[in-house]
A and B are shown apart, each in its own frame.
Chain A
């Protein structure tokens, strides 16, 4: 027995279905979450406690609205409930510290009109929160968790189950993230012009990480954790609505849509990985592809090309091919060339090698791969062996291909990937035995 026990998670088995439509109340709540939080933070100035208060208000709404109906002004309702919690919190604090009650009473005057913010401020608040959650003082882990909770309106339990960690662990991660924000003393306002572009890059990176965590789990059994990908798309869409002219924001949203469109075709009945060339393309989601294509072509025609747009353009070329053999590989090769010049990275080189092999033959691909042996950034990553296996198989050197597939299978930390690579090795082995 040399194979893993493959203890796949239940979600892995249920994959393949599109997630059911989210209830309208839940959808509304999640959209309002960052706006309500922004408003409460403005009043009370305490991000950490305000975030807890808003979570409680969201929970109260989730319990009450389905039964009692959605209030006429849902945002005002949530702000009021959250503010009441904040007031309780402040009152408890004051009692505890035996402080003057004057401060609290002064604050109460601010509470009266609940729906005091116009739409523009609510939108700014969503952006401010995103910037805050992607603050450089936070680790990526912390930034991801806090973004999902503060901006995405997910509960700690939901985030914990998406990342397969205990809820108490996730609660602690979020609370430490909030402490880090408090310590860093970031004001609740948009960063200045000079800093904004750089901070936006960090925000997009966090959204991209949430998406890829959902799309290919870096470790463990699940190939796709659909909810995280869906959530990342929802957040990217929100940022795109706030900054419709920003090309990389549009590029990231397009990339997510064009990649996620293939989600159902990417896994077989037993959660096994199906490579692009073998996917049933009729199972791709046409709606997502059309939206992504429209978005990326409108964006590319405006100039100022960035890495997300290039990756979206590559995804678009795959999605546009009705059959694998119709894929416009020369164009993909050219785009990977551009991408590599813009952001040199061995993973991009590996992808360019596959494109080069498709255009100029496997020898051209292998020539690009060889220098990567000494690239410390790749550090013996399984993808290097996997790509070599593929290229040697193309070249007809089955023995070498089999060896590389097995080596890759031995290194990957993903069970579906290991199952796929082991089966590839066995299939090549069978061809060797059969002559």
Chain B
């Protein structure tokens, strides 16, 4: 079964309290952790895809104009939201229990001073084709 794991980051953190304010050694440790995490997922044969997203300040909302269908582009309504999607993984695992384990591991990525961050990871199952008829 395939799951998408979405990593949410607190919006407030990025510029003032966020990773830019950590000591450089902690930043490097965090990056190294993420690299190792991805490598382990790949080695276990469970990684389908993983992407990091650019920060939300460049995010835009697009809607079709009612008559013409032309794109109407606005800044995201997310400006007020507390969290943003920082990136996602798609994993192919044998059980729900397994995806919980994987998510918990990345949630514990080291933060400032090496303290585990408990990042919220949202788990959503990826839809699949209907089961074979018996």
Q: Once the chains are docked, how many angstroms separate the CA of A409 from the CA of B20?
A: 9
**B89-129: contact bitstring with A at CB < 8 Å (1 yes, 0 no)?**
10000000000000000100101000001010000000000
Partner of B35, one of A271, A425, A430: A271
- Provide the residues of chain A in CB contact with B117, threshold 8 Å: 1
Residue of A nearest to B39 (CB): A13
Residue B77 CB within 8 A of the other chain: no
Binds B, one of A198-206, A365-373, A411-419: A411-419
**Inter-subunit contact B13/A410 (CB<8 Å):** no
Partner of A7, one of B22, B58, B87: B87
**Inter-subunit contact A4/B39 (CB<8 Å):** no
| Max count, chain B CB within 10 A of own CB: residue among A13, A410, A419 | A410
**B46-73: contact bitstring with A at CB < 8 Å (1 yes, 0 no)?**
0000111111011000000000000000
Chain B interface size range: 35 or more
| Max count, chain B CB within 10 A of own CB: residue among A272, A411, A426 | A426
- Provide the residues of chain B in CB contact with A4, threshold 8 Å: 34, 52-53, 86-87
Number of interface residues of A (CB under 8 A): 34
Residue A350 CB within 8 A of the other chain: no
Q: Once the chains are docked, how many angstroms separate the CA of A5 from the CA of B31?
A: 8
**Inter-subunit contact B39/A10 (CB<8 Å):** yes
- Provide the residues of chain A in CB contact with B19, threshold 8 Å: 1-3, 422, 426
Residue B32 CB within 8 A of the other chain: yes
Residue of B nearest to A220 (CB): B51
Residue A270 CB within 8 A of the other chain: yes
**B1-22: contact bitstring with A at CB < 8 Å (1 yes, 0 no)?**
0000001011001110111111
- Provide the residues of chain B in CB contact with A270, threshold 8 Å: 28, 31-32, 35
Partner of A1, one of B53, B57, B88, B109: B109
With A7-B51, A422-B27, A423-B27 given, is the CB distance from A410 to B15 under 8 Å?
yes
Partner of A6, one of B15, B21, B34: B34
Residue of B nearest to A6 (CB): B34
**Inter-subunit contact B24/A3 (CB<8 Å):** no
- Provide the residues of chain A in CB contact with B17, threshold 8 Å: 2
Can you give 25 contacting A-B residue pairs, CB < 8 Å?
A: A1-B7, A1-B9, A1-B10, A1-B18, A1-B19, A1-B109, A2-B10, A2-B86, A3-B9, A5-B34, A5-B52, A5-B88, A5-B89, A5-B106, A6-B34, A6-B87, A7-B89, A410-B55, A412-B54, A419-B27, A422-B19, A423-B27, A423-B28, A427-B24, A430-B23
A-B pairs, 4 with minimum CB distance:
A7-B50, A2-B18, A4-B52, A5-B87
By a beta-carbon cutoff of 8 Å, the part of chain A in contact with chain B is: 1-8, 10, 12-13, 219-221, 270-272, 402, 405-406, 409-413, 415, 419, 422-423, 425-427, 429-430
- Given A1-B18, A422-B20, 8 more contacts at CB 8 Å? A1-B13, A1-B109, A270-B28, A270-B35, A413-B54, A419-B27, A426-B21, A430-B23
